[in-house]
């Protein structure tokens, strides 16, 4: 068995990674790639992170694990995930920032839920709940801010990262910087803070399995891809230049953290770097409008028939009663602005009882939305305009790198699926692969000597009678 650390490199793509590696800007990731196996990791549509990470850590499709949108909690998960299986086998686990982990379980040595889900501040151990509270709080005095800095230092944030945050905040205030400047800096501040706290927890507990979620790449690529590749979007270089390095900076920060995690884990651990989906430039640059799906469900009177699922630029209605789907699409196809007649949805797609909605991006004229058969409504009731230009989107081609004692060096594998991750991690941990998982083992990734000592074993299922009661089996 090899200890495992999973670095969740959200939205990472080889399109950005490869040129940065070739330029020598990602030394730790380059070394991992040379010493281990790597390749494309294909995602699953719809590409919503809570469902995707649950698929990754269960090895099962959404219809089995039960997680759809951002409203899911750990109680929504109908199957065992990797840390549940590992803990049952007597291994120590730690989870930091992985989606759909609130409320946390004390069966793990530590579990810090995804900070972007503002549900509750519960953590394991409980003294780290201040970290969650601080992320969402607005500070109105220097005394409150000073107390935050002290509390961050107390839970493991290094002085150099606190000093950087103070200096950059003073600089932003002096320059009266706008959202474009503040947004990426704030994302990287919190990334540094979270990585310090994770490393402290890792050193304290020495888990056999640990996960660390790195979201900065995804949040930054949505807003800064047009600065990274201005020619594609027709952006003047003089406008793009101040922010052209922001997206690469998020990759360099990931590389720094990967290097520190590898040092903390030691040579006997296997480090897994993977993305739940890739990132890519959008078709065009737009001040997107965002559909308020909860309001649409209420307006159309389909609250008992459909559940709304939302992500930036992507919207979906999951129909529990499919008989409503076709009628809903016909109605939405006719939605328009009263003043100009402009249609507000540019397309639709149906998949397995889901209706994907694609609102138009910009150039909205008028203030009243006409919903045939459901009245007229103020634009702001059913839509709102996002406050930033969005140019990056999710893509099906993600990435993975795996390096450690069981793994062959310099191997580039055929494209895999996110469904394959947990079966392979179980092999590395010396545990059996469940036959009711939907992924496969990448045998060419493993050293023959490792497989000789720890052959691939199978078990029918890890699910229990409790899971059966939830409707899994």
- Give the tens place of pLDDT for each residue, 375-410: 999 998 998 776 567 889 889 999 999 999 999 999
Identify the band that residue 139 occupies on the pLDDT scale cut at 50, 70 and 90.
Answer: low
With respect to residue 191, please indicate whether it lies within any of the assigned structural domains. Answer: yes
Same domain for 317 and 409? no
Distances (CA, A) of 88 to 17, 110, 410, 424: 36, 16, 33, 18
Same domain for 126 and 191? yes
Distance CA(184)–CA(389), nearest Å, equals 14
Same domain for 375 and 244? no
Q: What pTM, to 2 d.p., does this model score?
A: 0.83
Same domain for 275 and 417? yes
Q: Which residues form the domain of 330?
A: 288-387
pLDDT at 116: 62
Same domain for 236 and 270? yes
With respect to residue 153, please indicate whether it lies within any of the assigned structural domains. Answer: no
Write the pLDDT tens digit of every residue in 399-441: 999 999 999 999 999 999 999 999 999 999 999 999 999 999 9
The two three-digit tokens of residue 192, written as one number: 């540094």
Q: What is the dihedral of CA 410, 412, 416, 421, to 10 degrees?
A: 0
Residue with tokens 């109605």: 331
Same domain for 337 and 236? no
Same domain for 348 and 444? no
With respect to residue 182, please indicate whether it lies within any of the assigned structural domains. Answer: no
Same domain for 237 and 330? no
With respect to residue 161, please indicate whether it lies within any of the assigned structural domains. Answer: no
With respect to residue 66, please indicate whether it lies within any of the assigned structural domains. Answer: yes
With respect to residue 228, please indicate whether it lies within any of the assigned structural domains. Answer: yes
With respect to residue 174, please indicate whether it lies within any of the assigned structural domains. Answer: no
Task: Count structural domains, the chain.
Answer: 2
Same domain for 93 and 31? yes
CATH number where 207 lies: 3.40.720.10
Same domain for 244 and 119? yes
Same domain for 220 and 356? no
């Amino acid at each position: 068995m090899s200890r495992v650390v999973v670095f969740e490199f959200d939205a990472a793509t080889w399109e950005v990674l490869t040129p940065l590696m070739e330029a020598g800007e990602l030394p730790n990731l380059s070394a991992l790639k040379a010493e281990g196996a790597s390749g494309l990791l294909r995602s699953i549509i719809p590409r919503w992170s809570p469902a995707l990470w649950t698929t990754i850590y269960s090895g099962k499709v959404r219809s089995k694990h039960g997680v759809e949108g951002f409203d899911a909690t750990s109680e929504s998960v109908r199957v065992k995930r990797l840390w549940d299986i590992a803990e049952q086998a007597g291994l120590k686990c730690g989870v930091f920032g992985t989606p759909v982990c609130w409320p946390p379980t004390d069966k793990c040595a530590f579990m810090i839920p995804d900070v972007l889900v503002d549900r509750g501040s519960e953590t394991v151990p409980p003294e780290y709940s201040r970290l969650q509270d601080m992320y969402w709080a607005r500070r109105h005095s220097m005394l409150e801010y000073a107390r935050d800095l002290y509390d961050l230092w107390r839970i493991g944030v290094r002085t150099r990262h606190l000093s950087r945050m103070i200096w950059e905040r003073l600089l932003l205030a002096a320059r009266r910087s706008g959202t474009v400047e503040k947004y990426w800096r704030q994302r990287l501040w919190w990334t540094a803070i979270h990585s310090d706290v994770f490393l402290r927890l890792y050193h304290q507990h020495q888990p056999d399995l640990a996960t660390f979620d790195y979201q900065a790449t995804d949040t930054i690529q949505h807003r800064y891809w047009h600065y990274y590749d201005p020619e594609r979007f027709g952006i003047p270089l003089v406008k793009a230049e101040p922010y052209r390095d922001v997206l690469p900076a998020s990759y360099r920060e990931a590389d720094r953290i990967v290097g520190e995690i590898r040092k903390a884990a030691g040579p006997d651990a296997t480090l897994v770097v993977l993305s739940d989906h890739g990132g890519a430039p959008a078709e065009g640059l737009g001040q997107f409008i965002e559909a308020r799906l909860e309001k649409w469900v209420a307006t159309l009177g389909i609250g008992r028939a459909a559940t709304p699922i939302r992500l930036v630029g992507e919207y979906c209605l999951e129909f529990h009663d499919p008989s409503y789907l076709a009628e809903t699409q016909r109605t939405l196809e006719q939605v328009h602005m009263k003043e100009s007649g402009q249609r507000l949805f540019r397309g639709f797609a149906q998949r397995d009882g889901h209706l994907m909605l694609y609102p138009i991006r910009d150039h909205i004229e008028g203030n009243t939305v006409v919903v045939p058969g459901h009245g007229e409504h103020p634009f702001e009731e059913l839509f709102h305009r996002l406050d930033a230009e969005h140019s990056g989107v999710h893509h099906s081609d993600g990435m993975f790198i795996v390096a450690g004692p069981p793994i062959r060096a310099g191997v580039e594998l055929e494209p895999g699926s996110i469904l394959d991750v947990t079966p392979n991690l179980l092999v590395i941990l010396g545990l059996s692969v469940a036959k009711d998982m939907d992924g496969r083992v990448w045998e060419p990734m493993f050293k023959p000597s490792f497989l000789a000592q720890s052959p691939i074993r199978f078990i029918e299922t890890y699910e229990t009678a409790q899971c059966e009661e939830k409707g899994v089996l």
